Chain A
Amino acid sequence: MWGDAWRRLRKNRVAMLCLALVALFTLMAVYGELVYRYHDFKDITPSYQKTHLDLAFQPPSSKHWMGTDGLGRDVMSRLVQGVTIAYKVGIITSLIAIPIGVFFGCIAGFFGGKVDDFVVWLYSTFASMPGLLFILAIAMVVGKGLLGIYLGIGLTTWVGICRLVRGEVIKHKSQTYVQAAQALGLGSGRIIFKHILPNISHVIIVTFTLRFPAAVGTEVFLSFLGIGVQDQPSWGLMINSARMRLWQGMWWEMTFVTLAVFLLVLAFNLLGDALRDALDPRLND
């Protein structure tokens, strides 16, 4: 399945371009994290946090490719830090949401009956909550900062994954290989995690690719509203500060940050679509 999918994906030029873009962003995220860790370890203020009021509001130049912001900090290096934050949010919220969703989806689909009823009740309760407001409420209760964001997004987005996985498991449960495994007397846990899960892993991967940009987008919102990231250069905070500057004619910070958000989200969206097409040939006509 994976070999075929890869061949199909390779033929899709847009998808390969997106893959390259995602790889580039990933490198930037790793680089940003390393820079952050280095300064944290040495306990010095990194250059992207130092203020140089004499260098404030410089348009893009050879020294500062993307100009400087209102406190004279280099926009580009702050942008790279923003990639790190975005990746952290995308990955950590996935680490919260996907295991919960997959676990509940698997047991509900496989065992049916009371277990299914319970899981369906649980996710329909969560699904009833008004999206952004609920995330905001969780973030408010947990407290401002990244933890609130992780929990807020993570605890609300498992529902979709759960529903999807549950449907897939129900589909697979009636297939012969599962019935054969049951006839052989394998334990339920083994059947679910060793036999069914690998067969629906593509669903999980596609979901990951498609929920990543959504999580990044939500983080930008929350940080923008001042509920998310507090003292690190997050894209939301950058947009917030750039918004006011825009009215004074400082276009660069706004432009580059929104461009970065757009490219990251677009690349993941298109890649997710292409992955789904490549992994799920039924949809290809």
Chain B
Amino acid sequence: MFKYILKRTFQMVPTVIGVILLTFVLFNVVGGDLAAIAMGKKVSLQSLETFDEQRGLNKPLFFGTRSKSRACEDQDFSDGAGRWRGYSNAVYSAEAGTLTLQPGAEIDPLAFELKAEDEFVWTVTYKGAGTLAGQALSSNDWKTEKILFQGSEEGGFSTADVPLEIRSVKFRRVVKNPFDSQLLFYVKQLARGDMGYSESQRQPVAQLLKDGVLPSLSLTVPIFFIGIILSVSLSLVCAFFRDTFVDRFLVTFSVALMSINYLVYIVAGQYFLAYKNGLFPVWGYESMRYLALPVIIGVISGLGSNIRFYRTIMLDEMYKDYVRTAFAKGVSKPRVLFVHVLKNAMIPIITNVVIAIPFLYTGSLLLESFFGIPGLGYLGINAILSSDIDVVRALVLIGAMLFVVSNLLTDICYAAADPRVKLK
């Protein structure tokens, strides 16, 4: 058994790597400018740079020796002048697609002071003469040149008595270690157990997660257990009375339950049971009484699909040949159902149950936000609405990791419940 667990744990590794990669791809690659998503566009470039710095977003994605810096955006003057329009001693010509620095100009396009220990590089396509970051540019023809300089030095353009025409500029930070990428930063951060920092709540994400677990569990654990007990017993009722009125009623009932939107349960429950009839408190998290209604709603909303699922499993088993053998021995119907069929059906049921464990942790997004239960679901919804990237990423990641672990647990339960599974 121990060997089996070890082997299955080992097989988990690719999925864990996959999950880390997928969250990375979603947020860092697809997400694009996370700082802008999180902080909006109206903040200073300096604070965006700080945001990037904290989260390693100023590094190359996977691998590379250069990375962009917010101090100066790339500009190809054939597409427009962008921020460069604002300099009084520079003339922009849209037809020629060039920016001409007048003689005697001093332009520092860097938005904020660079870090002194970093090295930077300009790539500039120019004609004429002048200096960039203290180094002389001079050419009568169009020429592209790379200019390296230290962050402590002056990084801007200047011209003496001849104009300098520029076609395009690129500004990059030199990455000393090409493997020092966003991916590495992310993996290192995870390895440290650092979940990041919530911008909207001004707290470390780990703290928020810790605070949210208990309220979430107090809601989801009862839903989980009551749900399992109810749906398994009702599906047994279906199997026992299959093809009779009782079975048909329960099946129709579960399809109807499934078809009602979750929102409707919440809104109707809150309105009729809590507001109109005052059976339950409407909102809040103060005592057990506050949990009753969300738990009821949670159970009912999952009941339909679970009954149907378990019923299918039971009926599948009822058609197996061993059931006929049992009947031929003179075993009574309840005993066939509760002993022979149920023990076989337990195997898929366990799978279905264990796989729902991550839900216990991540909580119920909607129930928590509607009933004001300060759990992880509430946290998640608020984080999404306020674009709090680190919180969302942490929740997604933890949910996924828990799922992977539950999968392992399922397999172990499976091996324990089913003698046919070979423990090798």
Contact = CB atoms under 8 A, between A and B. Distances in A.
A121 B18 contact: yes
B360 to A, nearest CB: 11
Given A129-B22, A137-B396, A142 B385 contact: no
Interface in A5-38: none
A227 B18 contact: no
A254 B362 contact: no
A129 B19 contact: yes
Given A142-B30, A261-B261, A128 B267 contact: no
A263 B400 CA distance: 33
B264 A262 contact: yes
A122 interface: yes
Given A128-B400, A266-B256, A221 B366 contact: yes
Listed residue (A132, A221, A239) with the most chain B CB atoms within 10 angstroms of its CB: A132
B284 to A, nearest CB: 17
B111 interface: no
Classify the interface of chain A: helix, strand, loop or mixed. Answer: helix
B387 A266 contact: no
A269 B256 CA distance: 9
Nearest to B318: A285
Interface residues of A, number: 41
A247 interface: yes
B392 A140 contact: yes
Contacts of B396: 129-130, 133-134, 137
A220 B358 CA distance: 24
B337 to A, nearest CB: 17
Nearest to B272: A246
Given A129-B22, A247-B271, A265 B385 contact: no
B255 A269 contact: yes
User: Taking each of A128, A129, A220, which has the highest tally of chain B beta carbons within 10 Å of its own beta carbon?
Assistant: A128
Contacts of B260: 258, 262, 265
Contacts, number: 120
Determine the main DSSP class of B at the interface with A: helix
Nearest to A220: B261
A141 interface: yes
B262 interface: yes
A100 interface: no
A273 interface: yes
B384 A130 contact: no
Nearest to A254: B267
Of A124, A140, A221, A239, the most chain B CB neighbours within 10 A belong to: A140
A60 B117 CA distance: 71
B385 A226 contact: yes
A133 B362 contact: yes
Given A128-B400, A133-B396, A141 B19 contact: no
A256 interface: no
B263 A128 contact: no
B261 A217 contact: yes
B319 A227 contact: no
A130 B216 CA distance: 15
Interface string B375-402: 0000011001101000011011001110
Contacts of A220: 261, 263
17 contacts: A121-B15, A127-B403, A128-B401, A133-B362, A136-B380, A137-B384, A140-B392, A141-B26, A217-B262, A221-B263, A247-B271, A254-B267, A258-B263, A266-B255, A266-B256, A269-B255, A269-B259
Given A122-B18, A129-B403, A261-B264, 12 more contacts: A125-B19, A127-B403, A128-B15, A128-B401, A130-B399, A134-B399, A141-B31, A217-B262, A225-B381, A225-B385, A266-B259, A269-B255
Interface of A: 121-122, 124-130, 132-134, 136-138, 140-142, 213, 217, 220-221, 224-227, 236, 239, 243, 246-247, 254, 258, 261-262, 265-266, 269-270, 273, 285
